[in-house]
Amino acid sequence: MIGKCYKETSSPLIYATIHPLTRRKQRKTELIMQQSTKKVRFKKSGNSNWIMLIREEALKLVNEHLKDDKLVKHILAVEAIMRNLAHHLGEDEETWGLVGLIHDLDYEETINSPQTHATKTAEYIQGLVPKNVVNAVKAHNYEYTKVQPQTKLEKGLICSDAVSGLIIAAALVMPNKKLEQVRVETLKKKFKDKTFAASTGRDRIRICEEIGVPLTDFLKISLEALQKISDELEL
């Protein structure tokens, strides 16, 4: 969705502090993305499990459809937040992480036609993932897809997607531009300041409360998730 710090922002400061794309950084991100071969399991019925897509294959889709290093870092950030949020809620971390990883596959292709964003991604992943994953992807652009978010997974993606931009923006205005310097109190202040990272939807972040996670707790969960992958994000 539009409004992520690694994508578009109305803040000149953020544009000035994000490093330009380089071949070296692109290669580094590609190497990071090739490291994991975790299997993603989905419940089929009863106690039986089946495997549809491994993370390695999902990363290949990412490499195929996204060329912008900032976008790749964004989806890695959302994946990390989704995993941590799922852990907090007692949900399937692999499924939630996968949704975060693939939710923006069509962003570069649909950047000038937001009404088609998420629908093309749904086409790319159709048959590779369960229906609930496809629905979650569509629901994160519900304003256009008309797929209203109803489940925890769908709402979790929306708030994780939005909060990633707020946290990255906060890190970029720290003295050393590092996530380790960001505190939950910092995020709470930045959240209240509507002029900071103005394109970040506060209402979307607050959707965390609809899945039983208070805002302060969600900011903490999300910040900790990104601090764990700070090297990948180069922050």
Please give the mean pLDDT across all residues of the chain: 82
CB-count burial class (<10 Å; 0-12, 13-18, 19+) for 15: exposed
How does DSSP classify residue 35?
S
pTM of the model: 0.80
Domains defined along the chain, listed by start? 12-42+51-233 (1.10.3210)
pLDDT digits (tens, 9 = 90+) for 52-70: 578 888 999 999 999 999 9
Residues with Cβ < 8 Å from 49, sequence gap 6 or more?
41, 42, 43
What pLDDT is recorded for position 40?
39
Residue 12: pLDDT over 50: no
- The pLDDT tens digits for 21-37 are 444 444 444 434 443 33
pLDDT of residue 52: 58
Residue 112 pLDDT greater than 50, yes or no: yes
Q: How confident is the model at residue 142 (pLDDT cuts 50, 70, 90)?
A: confident
